[in-house]
Structure 1
Amino acid sequence: MDFSAFGWGRVVLLSFLGTLCCIAVAFAIDSYSFETGIWRWGEKPLNNLIIPLILAPPFFFYLLSKQRELAIAHRELMVVASTDSLTSCLNRRAFTAMVDRYLDRIADQKAGHHGALLIIDVDHFKDINDVFGHECGDEALKVIAHTIKGTLRDLDLVGRIGGEEFSVFLPGVSPERVGRVAERIRVEVSATELNLNGKSCKLSVSVGGVTFDRNASFSELYRHADQLLYAAKRGGRNRVEIQHASAGPDKQIQIH
């Protein structure tokens, strides 16, 4: 049971139900005679009502509230463990696991499911660190991450999978739309200009992306998207390269 999803009203309700159970148990124990093996009305039935009403509510309320606090703390810890501390994106491990779970879930479904994986790399990031300093480089990464998130839907996933490398997973997006999404990311980042240490810094990213229908894994999609990213880099940077990956009968990804 996930107590992190419980409000205080539910904690009170569970405390009340627990108290009723205690009252029922008290009456059952007091009414049963171990000597004769029969049920009978206890000598002081009022005690079976008063004592649980005094002791049980605070006990159950305290116990359930502590369980709720522990569940919330555990959930927050899981969020911290799966999030990149600098950019608040998913870290590589969490991003990979979530994408693979989605792909596994749709693999056995007969209906095709469209989607795409984008790899986004900051252009000339070493120069930004060398000229402006690593703190300014960190600020640039935060701005770029914020810009990427601002162009996407709530259900899309964004992960920081390397030093200056991000990845975006777009479930349910048609191949025709993927290019527009990637181009919008590139344009929005290019329109961003930072003032770092009194100097103007223009930002840009290169994007490699692969679309899919089904029967794929993160490692396969990443490998092909990474190849396309390098093609964008070789083509002059600040570019988008998107291709379609389809799964044949042997379930191997082919790029068109």
Structure 2
Amino acid sequence: MSRARRTLSRPAWLRVYRLTGLLSAVSVVLSIIFTNLIMETFSAGINVPGLMVSIFTPLLLGTPLIGIILYKQEQLREANSRLERLASTDWLTGCLNRGAFTAEVTRLLGQPRTYGAMLVVDVDHFKTVNDRLGHDRGDDVLKLIAEALARAVGADALLGRLGGEEFGIFLPQADDKAARKIAETIRDAVARIGLVFEGRSYPLSISVGGATFEGPSDFRSLYRLADDFLYRAKAAGRDRVALSSAA
């Protein structure tokens, strides 16, 4: 039983217990009603033995079956949820993958009277990190940076890994001032990561390009503008933010 409990989350078990109890109660009530109707046909109505049979028969036969069916249903529900998460999550960093990030940003851009900002983040000199420390250590760096970005942007933002060492951040309902503040916050958060390997410290930095918008927009246009300003940030010396407004 302990192994079975570990296969479902606590909320899922609560749903199984509640629905099993509810459906068992309903089956008992229906059993009593039907038994009484049958007994009235052949006698004066349901008696004590008939009442006991009408109560315990569905409890002994129906309740276990209901519980098993609901348990299997919750297993399937949670398995589907895990598959959906795997399909939308970047395997390395735990961020949204490019497809899921694009789809969710597109959905938000389709809402009426929306405004916000798109940030494109690129790790500076990441090839050097891979060359000096190895790709395994480079993967660790990407994980650390993703964690720093997630803490800095908060729960309302969307964070996705767009590919390689590039991340995308969508900030719904953020104006120019808020977007710039968050961009500087994530730049500072990455700079504070203390990467030490074999007794040597390796500084990390990111460049951030961004575009704010108010009114109708689309993912491709917004990303293209933010990416253009990312290259401006890199051309200006890296470890900095370049932000522009979009219509």
Taking structure 2 as the reference length, the TM-score comes to 0.85
Unmatched segments (≥5 aa) in structure 2: 1-7
Q: 1:191 to 1:52 in 2, by over 3 A?
A: closer
User: In 1, are the aligned partners of 2:36 and 2:46 still within 8 Å (CA)?
Assistant: yes
Other-structure match for 1:88 = 94
3-state DSSP of counterpart to 1:119: strand
3-state DSSP of counterpart to 1:161: strand
C-alpha distance in structure 1 between counterparts of 2:15 and 2:239, whole Å: 53
Other-structure match for 1:19 = 24
Give the CA deviation at 1:28. Answer: 5.8
Other-structure match for 1:251 = none
Other-structure match for 1:229 = 230
Q: 1:225 to 1:5 in 2, by over 3 A?
A: farther
Other-structure match for 1:219 = 220
Other-structure match for 1:139 = 140
Correspondent of 1:79 among 80, 85, 91: 85
Aligned residues between the structures:
236
Amino acid paired to 1:12? Y
C-alpha distance in structure 2 between counterparts of 1:144 and 1:14, whole Å: 44
User: In 2, are the aligned partners of 1:18 and 1:56 still within 8 Å (CA)?
Assistant: no
Other-structure match for 2:104 = 98
* RMSD (Å), alpha carbons: 2.6
C-alpha distance in structure 1 between counterparts of 2:95 and 2:107, whole Å: 18
Residue correspondence of structure 1 range 243-254 to structure 2 within 5 A: 243-246=244-247
User: In 2, are the aligned partners of 1:190 and 1:203 still within 8 Å (CA)?
Assistant: yes
Residue correspondence of structure 1 range 1-256 to structure 2 within 5 A: 6-27=11-32, 41=45, 45-46=50-51, 47-104=53-110, 106-107=111-112, 112-246=113-247
C-alpha distance in structure 2 between counterparts of 1:176 and 1:220, whole Å: 21
Give the CA deviation at 1:227. Answer: 0.8
- Post-superposition CA distance 1:92-141 (Å, at most 9, x none): 1111111111111x23xxxx433101000011111111111111111111
C-alpha distance in structure 1 between counterparts of 2:151 and 2:186, whole Å: 9
- Post-superposition CA distance 1:44-75 (Å, at most 9, x none): 74333321121112221222122122212221
C-alpha distance in structure 2 between counterparts of 1:226 and 1:48, whole Å: 71
User: In 2, are the aligned partners of 1:82 and 1:91 still within 8 Å (CA)?
Assistant: yes
C-alpha distance in structure 2 between counterparts of 1:137 and 1:27, whole Å: 68
Q: 1:216 to 1:5 in 2, by over 3 A?
A: farther
C-alpha distance in structure 1 between counterparts of 2:220 and 2:226, whole Å: 10
3-state DSSP of counterpart to 1:90: coil
Give the CA deviation at 1:180. Answer: 1.3
**Identity rate of aligned residues, in percent?**
41
3-state DSSP of counterpart to 2:122: strand
Amino acid paired to 1:188? A
Going by fraction, where is helix more abundant, 1 or 2?
2
Taking structure 1 as the reference length, the TM-score comes to 0.82
Unmatched segments (≥5 aa) in structure 1: 247-256
C-alpha distance in structure 2 between counterparts of 1:142 and 1:71, whole Å: 29
C-alpha distance in structure 2 between counterparts of 1:213 and 1:113, whole Å: 6
User: In 1, are the aligned partners of 2:114 and 2:216 still within 8 Å (CA)?
Assistant: no
C-alpha distance in structure 1 between counterparts of 2:174 and 2:130, whole Å: 35
